[in-house]
Amino acid sequence: MKKRPSLKDIAKKLNVSVTTVSFVLNGKGKEKKISDELIKKVIDYTDSINYRPNKVAQSLRTGKTNILVFMVEDISNYFFSKIARIMEDIAYDKGYKVLFCSNENEDERSKELIQLFSERQVDGFIISPSPGIQNEIESLIENKIPVVLFDRYFEDLDVSHVIIDNEDASSKATKHLIDNDFSRIGFITIESSQNQMTNREKGYVDAMKSAGLEPLILKIPFEKIHKEETKLEIRKFIIEGQELDSVFFSTNYLTRTALEVIKETDQTLLEKLGVVTFDDNELFRINTPTITAVSQPLQELGESLMNTMLNLLNSKAENLKPTKSVLKASLIVRNSSINKN
């Protein structure tokens, strides 16, 4: 195992100084008045041995790693992983690498991850924050580390963010059900004070009230999502309790659980019950019935996130104002929200 050649090795081999080699390799040959023949000599040699600088050393010296962190609730979630892919491509073109990680929406884990990546001197953070990490975000900002929040944000923190208009999306989805002559429209959501969720609830409640309808809400505590009792609760809410004619789900994984419950309980119910869910999934257009979904603009979200981040990175001007983008989601109407009664 021959160790990888360093600048020093190259300099020695060519009988020039390390400085010269470094200048040439960084394209500063002309500017630093290195003669054309020497430039050629260096480049020819480094090409021939396929020299690659050690990024760790570069990072230590320059303080830049060209690494960005994308921290979300769960990277195996379709919504997040799709956006991750989109951002990865854009970042890649600009010479940045994006690292993905999952915080499970837990503060403890978020803090550990921020700590861990700060130690590694990453250049910027794109974060779907868990509820209680305002201090950590603030501290990053204080240290002039670029941060862009995503999907949700802190209302009393002046930080760049990219989100969708959840209230509007939710309102449209609810109105769509109302327009289709549903009236006992339930809303199943997770218990959360994070604004992406509270805004979705608000959109629903307001739409119901302004149509003179009674809001019917079931809130599942986050930590019980995958518990068996959640299924029972959902069943009770939809089937036994309120005589719902339709349900609007605030998030994808609740939809999955609920559809399963409904299927297990009463195969035919699905044909009658109106269903709209937040967040689209590739399999929703294959399902029977195909499922109406609020679709977030993944491409635009990814692009907006990365552009915001790149702007922050390129503006050494400390005084750059935070950019706040609010995109619109669209409703993809499929069969599940058509009233068959």
Q: Which positions touch its own copies (CB under 8 A)?
A: 1, 4, 52-57, 59-60, 65, 74-76, 78, 81-82, 84-85, 88, 97, 99-102, 115-116, 118-121, 142-144, 256, 259-260, 263, 270, 281-288, 290
Piece in contact with DNA (CB under 7 A), picked from 24-32, 237-245, 251-259, 263-271: 24-32
Closest CB 311 distance from DNA, rounded Å: 22
Instruction: Show the site string, 2-21: x = touches DNA by CB under 7 A, - = not.
Output: -xxxxxx------xxxxxx-
**Three-state secondary structure of 298-337:** HHHHHHHHHHHHHHHHHCCCCCCCCCEEEECCEEECCHHH
x/- mask, DNA, residues 118-157, rule CB under 7 A, reads: ----------------------------------------
**CB-based contacts of 106: which residues, under 8 Å, 6+ apart?**
130
Residue keyed to tokens 């059900």:
177
Q: For residues 60-79, which are near DNA according to CB under 7 A?
A: 60-63
Closer Cβ to its own copies, 87 or 162, answer by number = 87
Strand (E) or helix (H) holding 126? strand 124-127
Q: Which is nearer to its own copies, 49 or 283 (CB)?
A: 283
CA atoms within 13 A on the CB side of 327: 20
Stretch that binds DNA, among 33-41, 87-95, 183-191, 331-339 (CB under 7 A): 33-41
Q: Taking CB within 5 to 8 Å according to partner kind, which of DNA, its own copies, none is near residue 62?
A: DNA
Residue labelled with tokens 């609920």: 258
Out of 38, 43, 270, 333, point to the residue binding DNA (CB under 7 A).
Answer: 38
User: Sign of the CA dihedral 56, 58, 63, 68?
Assistant: negative
Closest approach, Cβ 109 to its own copies, in A, equals 9
Identity of the residue numbered 13: K
Find the binder of DNA among 49, 57, 225, 283 (CB under 7 A). 57
For DNA, which stretch binds (CB under 7 A), given 52-60, 106-114, 269-277, 294-302? 52-60
**Based on CB atoms, which residue is closest to its own copies, 15 or 319?**
319
Q: How far is residue 97's CA from residue 114's CA, in Å, rounded to a whole number?
A: 17
| Shortest CB 207 distance to its own copies, Å | 27
Residue 312 Cβ vs its own copies, minimum distance, rounded to whole Å? 15
Helix H or strand E encompassing 277? strand 274-278
Q: Is 226 exposed, middle or buried (0-12, 13-18, 19+ CB in 10 A)?
A: exposed
Count the residues of the shown chain that bind DNA, applying the rule CB under 7 A. 30
Residue 285 touching DNA (CB under 7 A): no
290 exposure class (CB count in 10 Å sphere: 0-12, 13-18, 19+): middle
Q: Which is nearer to its own copies, 76 or 341 (CB)?
A: 76
Q: Identify whether the C-beta of residue 243 lies closer than 8 Å to the C-beta of residue 186.
A: no
Query: Shortest gap between Cβ of 202 and its own copies (angstroms)?
Result: 29
Q: Which residues pair with 98 in a beta bridge?
A: 68
* Cβ 334 vs Cβ 285: under 8 Å: yes
Assess contact for 247 and 258: CB atoms under 8 A.
yes
Q: Does 268 bind DNA (CB under 7 A)?
A: no
Cβ-in-10-Å burial (0-12, 13-18, 19+) of 33 comes to: exposed
Residue 315 binds DNA (CB under 7 A): no
Instruction: Give residues in contact with DNA (CB under 7 A).
Output: 3-8, 15-20, 22-23, 25-26, 32-35, 37-38, 53-54, 57-58, 60-63
